[in-house]
Structure 1
Amino acid sequence: WSEDELLAALQTAKAPLLLALDGVQDPHNLGACLRSADACGALAVIVPRDRAARLTPSARKVAVGAAETTPVVSVTNLARTLKLLKEAGLWVVGADVAAAKRADEVDLAGPVVLALGAEGSGLRHLTRQNCDFLVGLPQLGAVESLNVSVAAGMLLYEAVRQRQAQSRSTL
């Protein structure tokens, strides 16, 4: 999809869930993120056009079909796109290992973009500035970071968990 197609799709989407990958370089991670995004019902995955993994045959193989079901939106300026999404009514929630809030402490049941940064460097400054919240995932082991595709899957699932809990409570 183009950025315009994404914005058009938001007009009819109820509580859209989007995944934004800020400079993820590894095609395997892109493919795994697509697979998780599809499993969790994400509307699309947004990636910067430059300095990010492309939808290569390797990424498609890891995605196991999700590259055909979950649109990838390649944008020129991720920070500008996040700003447009905020103007369209979505919250932008960034992942940060040092965040003061955990993912389960922030409302992910409404229209939301989950933003994750590149392996090793995390979210870039301008991406971070466009986040309404920064959240972390509790880690009990000695290693202080998760693979980006694992973190994406965990955050996407937390959004699904909250959405299902909300729908059960409104019955």
Structure 2
Amino acid sequence: MRPNRPDQPTARQNRHARSDHQVHIYDEGDIAALLEDKSNPLVLILDCVQDPHNLGACLRTADAAGVCMVIMPKDKTAPITETVVRVACGGAENIPLVRVTNLVRTMDKLKELGIWLVGTADEATKSLYDLDLKGGIGIVMGAEGPGMRRLTGEHCDFLVKIPMAGKVECLNVSVATGVCLFECVRQRQPKK
């Protein structure tokens, strides 16, 4: 696994992002190597997030939360454009982005590597705040509107919801991503 060097663009380098940004795109074959030296990895899986502003905001939040990689399908996901890079404010360049052909197969591979997969779904009965999010965790976020695809949800180890106190039914995917990732961060903080 080698990130792209500025003087040697490869087929993996995103052709949509501006040339002065070094966005490193990996494929599913790189996942084990990206996790190799991580003792309690936090992974973000985005299932078909299509709005470039939401994708950029998710990448920015992922970087702030210390996520070790963001995984997303090659199809039905916003490309990494200049807009995504700008909204991410450095997140797109700082985190390995893994584009995969088959998200379910990739999720199974993550499980083999010791990652527990926590999916978010409005219909879930368990609260995000009741789950132990320490250790190797993959947070799975669905697309704007429909949420996670059925097979994606079926391959999660746990389905959770974010408790809502108001009248709106759900949060924007980028906001929900922030809530979920920073609950992981909170739980991983050393006790004083």
Provide, for residues 3-55 of structure 1, a one-character-per-residue CA deviation record: whole Å limited to 9, x for no partner: 22221121211110000000111011110000000000000111100011111
In the alignment, which of 58, 61, 77 is matched to residue 83 of structure 2? 58
Provide, for residues 111-170 of structure 1, a one-character-per-residue CA deviation record: whole Å limited to 9, x for no partner: 010001011101111101110000110111111010000000000000000001xx327x
Report the AA paired with residue 67 of structure 2: A
CA distance in 2, matches of 1:120, 1:89: 30
Bigger helix fraction: 1
Runs of 4+ in 1 over 6 A off after TM superposition: none
In the alignment, which of 42, 49, 68 is matched to residue 43 of structure 1? 68
TM-score of the pair, normalised by structure 1: 0.95
Q: State the match for 2:96 in structure 1.
A: 71
Q: State the match for 2:140 in structure 1.
A: 115
Q: How many corresponding residue pairs?
A: 167
Residue aligned with 1:25, SS: coil
Cα RMSD (Å) of the superposition?
Answer: 0.9
Larger Rg: 1 or 2? Answer: 2
Provide, for residues 63-110 of structure 1, a one-character-per-residue CA deviation record: whole Å limited to 9, x for no partner: 011110011100000011001000111100000112111111111111
TM-score of the pair, normalised by structure 2: 0.85
Unaligned runs of 5+ in 2: 1-25
In the alignment, which of 82, 97, 101 is matched to residue 107 of structure 2? 82
CA distance in 1, matches of 2:92, 2:35: 20
Residues 91-110 of structure 1: matches in 2 within 5 Å?
Answer: 91-110=116-135
Residue aligned with 1:114, SS: strand
CA distance in 1, matches of 2:188, 2:125: 23
Unaligned runs of 5+ in 1: none
